[in-house]
Amino acid sequence: MNDISAPMGVQEAFDQALKQGRFLVQQCDGCHRHVYFPRELCPHCGHGSLQAVEPCGRGTVHAVTTVRRKPADGGDFNVSLIDLEEGVRMMSRVEGVTPDQVVIGMKVTARVADGIVLFDAVEAQ
């Protein structure tokens, strides 16, 4: 993997990866914990070497709220906090279901669309 702290800076490198359809998080070379959002130093141990890695993309809805909009403005949508299996939490939304169907504990999987990370509900096994 490319080092996310390339000369362009961590956020720009992360954004470039998203534009290419790649979802990356960082992993610390010191404590080996994952980090999200992109940073220069590990928030867990302070180590200065963080590598870009592709997460597995599986997660669980930690919290959810519904943003209400008029149908003419696109209708309602959910804003969700997702806990990835790697141990990081991120804000996004779950698509493919109505906002009232998104519930805490729901299993989801990540995908990149239009340069942002979105999640889809995982069918119950």
pLDDT of 73 reads 96
Instruction: Answer whether residue 3 shows pLDDT above 90.
Output: no
Give CA–CA dist 87/101, Å, rounded.
24
For residue 82, CA distances in Å to 30, 45, 76, 109 come to: 25, 23, 19, 10
Residues 85, 30: Cα–Cα separation, whole Å: 20
What domains can be seen in the chain, in order of their start residue? 10-53 (no CATH), 58-121 (2.40.50)
Tell me what pLDDT residue 4 has: 55
% helix / strand / coil in the chain, to the nearest 5?
A: 15, 40, 50
- Residue 125 is predicted with a pLDDT of 42
Mean pLDDT value across residues 84-98: 97
Coil, helix or strand at residue 17: helix
Prediction pTM value: 0.87
Backbone dihedral region for residue 30 (phi beyond 0: left; psi -120 to 50: alpha; all else: beta): alpha
pLDDT digits (tens, 9 = 90+) for 32-88: 999 999 999 999 999 999 999 999 999 999 999 999 999 999 999 999 999 999 999
pLDDT digits 0-9 by tens, 17-34 = 999 999 999 999 999 999
Contact between residue 116 and residue 103 where contact means Cβ atoms under 8 Å apart: no
- Residue 77 to residue 25: CA distance in whole angstroms: 25
Structure tokens at 26: 């960082």
